[in-house]
Amino acid sequence: MSVRVLRVVLAFFAMCAVSCSAPTDAAWRIRFGGDGGVVGETAVRVRLRVLVDSCESTAVVYDADISRTESVPAFGEIGEGTFAFEATARDTECRIVARGCVVRALPPVGGDIVTVLDAVSPAVPACAASACVEGRCTATRGDAGAP
């Protein structure tokens, strides 16, 4: 089978896939709840992670660290499975002041995925004070040089 024929076949079925099996849309919302709402006033950055299977997992498929003014990177599509949606909020001194994690099976049955951030008391340092700049743990940043 030639490459061109393969592409035509793929295009045909890709069209079918769009109409017959479009990905399920779901929104992930992160909100400060209860005492977290109060503590949230001091939060300057939030780290969002999606973990495989559980909140204790070390397998991370999404990791974003944003301030109040930065836009959140798009997650995109994810396959079937069980995932933990974790959020941790830090203050200007890189102390974790609120945390939340919720486990959901995907595709979701319905409704948004909501992670509620609850206060962490006492606040836990996310990194050494020397590595903290405006709530960001700079020592964990990787190099992104050109190839």
Partner 1 sequence: MAALVGLAAAPARALDAAIERGRALLTAGDVGGALGVVAEVEARSDLPAGDLLALLALRATAEAMSEDALALARSARAIIELAPAWQAPEGAPEAFRAALDEARIAQPEPPELDVDVYPTDGALRIVIECDDDVDLVRGTRLLWRSGGERAWHRSEASEERVAGLAGTAVEYYVEALGPGGVVVAREGSARAPVRVSIPGSESDATGGLGTMTPTSDDGKTVWLIAGAVTIAAVIGVIALVAAGRSSDRTDLGVPVVEWP
Written in H, E and C, the secondary structure of 93-107 is CCEEEEEEEEEEEEC
Sign of the alpha-carbon torsion through 52, 56, 62, 68:
positive
CB within 8 Å of 118: residues ≥ 6 apart: 33, 34, 35, 36, 98, 99, 100
Which x/- pattern over 2-41 shows residues binding partner 1 (rule: CB under 8 A)?
Answer: -x--xx-xx--xx-xx--xxxxxxxxxxxxx----x--xx
Least spacing, CB of residue 132 vs partner 1, in Å = 20
Residues 51-80 that bind partner 1 (CB under 8 A): 52, 57-64, 66, 68, 71-80
111 sits near partner 1 (criterion: CB under 8 A): no
User: Max Cα separation, the chain?
Assistant: 65
Contact residues: partner 1, CB under 8 A: 1, 3, 6-7, 9-10, 13-14, 16-17, 20-32, 37, 40-41, 43, 46, 48, 52, 57-64, 66, 68, 71-81, 87, 106-108, 113, 142-147
